[in-house]
Amino acid sequence: MSHTTFLSMAKAIEYLGDAASAQQLLATLQSTLENDVPQINAAIEAEHFEVLQKVWHQLKGFAPVFCHDQLVAEITQTESLCKRVETPETKTIALSASAQLSINLNVLLAEVKWQLQQPA
């Protein structure tokens, strides 16, 4: 997995100053994703938009450090959609966006796990 879809170690190193710091924070990212993804999936199933909005907001805080801009934008857009659920159509759109983002976060988690296994 020499090329990652969502994880950007270059951004993390630039943001944090060195590879060792970036590698250390990856473990925190892994733990966060391992906790958040099941919570996200349960909230999607229950159509609990307050929980989704909260999780997206928290992820939006660290995503610019570790993630390519496309995933950061997707998190921001999905959070916004979950804030504005007023009709059956907006509900469907927010749930669909949340489900796709959950899939992408699983890919990110796999990329993080792979990166953590690489020699320093």
Query: Is the pLDDT score of 4 beyond 80?
Result: yes
Report the percentage of the chain scoring pLDDT > 70.
98
pTM of the model as a whole: 0.93
- Summarised one tens digit per residue, pLDDT across range 80-100 is 999 999 999 999 999 999 999
Contacts of 107 (CB under 8 A, 6+ apart): 5, 6
Task: Give the confidence band of 120 by pLDDT, cuts at 50, 70, 90.
Answer: low
From the list 16, 54, 22, 18, the residue with the least C-alpha distance to 36 is 54
| Residues 13/16/18/19 CA torsion (nearest 10 deg) | -50
